[in-house]
Structure 1
């Protein structure tokens, strides 16, 4: 074999090896970011100096931009309805970031064609140690949800903070089962967040409200679509479990208790974790009213808290509230 051929083959092999060499960490991170910005079904943008630096494909589409035009490089003013709205947002974001909090609010935006819509903006600094630097924006179209929330019928049935059913609606739905002649078992969970007052005292009511909202959304994800999750008051929640006997309600309660204990509140620079106590009751003939059912569930929960919290107790007596197990 001639030296020229050998040299050619060596060059080809070296070229292949170089092309197969692993990418540097920076190259890998950049490639992942590009893939995320193109494929993720979330409207995400990086903003610096009141200008869009990098935007996802979904973010462009949300505001009516596409292949022929890109929001990247443009002023964030283009998505706001007025100069006043634009400056107001910047002031509120700066104040929130300086206080160690994200900005999370609903804003009326304008698309490229002039059409307006309501979006929920969640904005956080990329580096909390430099809150005036680059920020991450996540925007979700909430026009339909906002319109629904403004309807009087929705307001009458839902809690304003968590958007769950309120106590009035929960009691109405529970009343459909109390005293029913149907044979399907129905159970209730009563959930009380342990030491929630300390969270409010240490972080403030705004952080507490965001925690309650997140907790409510997490609870919805732990039960069936046919179940009803409600915020009764303060840090007290209830879950209506149709076609569910005491045994399975206890299993669900343990799953919920474990999920709460694993849940982390992350709100800007604020971090915390909590636990919860739960009471379980299956509707029975001796519980002849909504108040009796809720009273049994609440007393079972009180027993769980008296045992140290982060536990579940089940109401088992038809004759009194004192017999509890769990």
Structure 2
């Protein structure tokens, strides 16, 4: 032991002897307390380091995006979040959060919605379209919760999941529920819903008219050329119907070879002219089946809405009556009927359209 160490020991002993036994005990207790505090600090530091490692592991490997924001800026970004956006973590930390949204308007509506969700003590969750660094976009479900519910300045923890495929699947299912798979037109149920909505808004929705279209001798096309040929004719007629009306009109395939069109802002005369043009367009189209060519023809019925059209079945029955008239008069024709004709049809005991006049449409 060197002289300096020996001197320090004698100095400490002398100090202890000088302060007395009571003071010495106090000093020992303080030293123990200090040692315990240092031990707890070391343990807390070790715990903090372990938590940081765990957090880093989560931010690196989590299959969803995780971020922490304050005052519309990112403070922590996970690897997955950065990957979804196509940016580096450093780039994201340097940019405002709104730059990631495809639509600025959507971003501006985010704040009030988040504030309301947090005020209701619930997790915010909604789907938004996001813009990647390369300009492409994807749909993500954004979920957020406050770090401290009682302190808005504490920031928000976010989770982001790419739901593009899930959203596409939902849209496909929704589309399939309302559309005909072969032609892409609305199906009967969706069309009847559309007609019902127009009836509810009368008289503002008037004038309006319905067209019923039926492909003449469609069964013979299937029997002679096969169902693939029949499908080709159905698709061709659907394309002609789409091209022959305005974007504000509605075209549907009701089933089989039957179609319908809802014409808005058209009285009966205008609807009859549109129907005649459609008839001519179908008649002039040439279909080719295995090197064999064939023309198709359609019969069309026209019924104009009026103030007494009370429901969808009545409206569609009137158009069906007109279609029956076109069929009975030799097919490949356009015929009309008014809703007053329905009483005559019912009282006659005959099929729809029996005994009804042709309203002089032969020259249309």
Normalised to the residue count of structure 2, the TM-score between the two structures is 0.47
CA displacement, residues 26-79 of structure 1 (integer Å, 9 cap, x when unaligned): xxxxxxxxxxxxxxxxxxxxxxxxxxxxxxxxxxxxxxxxxxxxxxxxxxxxxx
Gaps of at least 5 residues in structure 2 are 1-164, 346-352
Following the alignment from structure 1 to structure 2, what is the Cα–Cα distance between the partners of residues 149 and 312?
Answer: 40
Does the alignment pair 1:156 with 2:177? yes
Aligned to 1:219: 241
1:154 Cα deviation (Å)? Answer: 0.4
1:295 counterpart (313, 317, 338): 317
Contact 1:191-1:301 within 8 A present in 2 as well: yes
The alignment status of 1:263 with 2:315, answered yes or no, reads: no
Query: What is the correspondence of 1:4-43 to structure 2 with a 5 Å cutoff?
Result: none
Give 2:196's match in structure 1, choosing from 154, 175, 197. 175
Which secondary structure state, in structure 2, belongs to the residue aligned with residue 226 of structure 1? coil
**CA distance in 2: counterparts of 1:189 and 1:319, whole angstroms:** 16
Give how far 1:267 is off: 3.8
Name the structure 2 match of 1:249: 271
The answer to whether the Cα contact below 8 Å between 1:190 and 1:278 also exists between their aligned partners in 2 is: yes
Once superposed, what is the RMSD of the aligned Cα atoms? 2.0
Structure 2 match to 1:209: 231
1:312 and 1:208 map into 2 onto residues whose CA distance is: 22
With over 3 angstroms needed to count, the CA separation of the structure-2 counterparts of 1:269 and 1:199, relative to structure 1, is same
Partner of 1:312: 334
Shift of the alpha carbon at 1:205? 0.7
Q: What is the CA distance between 1:285 and its match in structure 2? A: 2.7
How far has the Cα of 1:319 moved from its partner? 5.1
DSSP-derived class of the 2:340 partner: coil
For residues 274 and 181 of structure 1, the distance between their equivalents in structure 2, rounded to whole angstroms, comes to 37
Would you say the 8 A contact 1:200–1:208 is kept in 2? yes
Conserved? CA contact 1:203–1:270, under 8 Å: no
Separation (CA, whole Å) in 2 of partners of 1:150 and 1:208: 28
Match of 2:255 among 227, 233, 238: 233
Which of the residues 187, 201, 217 maps onto 1:166? 187
Structure 1 length normalisation: TM-score?
A: 0.52
TM-fit CA distance, 1:206: 1.3
CA offsets, 1:182-235, max 9 Å, x none? 333110000011111110100111111122112101211111111111110111
User: CA–CA distance in 2 between the matches of 1:201 and 1:278?
Assistant: 23
Map 1:86-165 → 2, pairs under 5 A: 151-165=172-186
CA contact (8 A) 2:303 2:339 kept: no
Q: 1:169 to 1:317 in 2, by over 3 A?
A: closer
Does the 8 Å CA contact 2:301/2:320 hold for their aligned counterparts?
A: yes
SS of the counterpart of 1:239? strand
Gaps of 5+ in 1: 1-143
- SS of residue matched to 1:170: helix
Map 1:194-205; keep pairs closer than 5 Å: 194-205=216-227
Q: Between Structure 1 and Structure 2, which shows a larger proportion of helix residues? A: 2
Q: Following the alignment from structure 1 to structure 2, what is the Cα–Cα distance between the partners of residues 303 and 277?
A: 9
Higher gyration radius (CA): 2
Runs ≥4 residues deviating over 2 A: 147-150, 179-184, 316-326
CA distance in 1, matches of 2:185, 2:169: 13
Q: 1:155-198, CA deviations, whole angstroms, 9 ceiling, x for partnerless residues? A: 00110111111111111101111243333311000001111111
- Native 8 Å contact 1:193 1:235 kept in 2: yes
Alpha-carbon shift at residue 317 of structure 1 (Å): 4.5
Distance apart, 1:150 and its partner CA: 6.9
* Offset of residue 269 of structure 1: 1.9
Aligned partners of 2:318 and 2:338 also within 8 Å: no
Distance 1:241 1:208 in 2: 27
SS, match of residue 151 in structure 1: helix
Distance 1:254-1:152 versus aligned 2 partners, 3 A rule: same
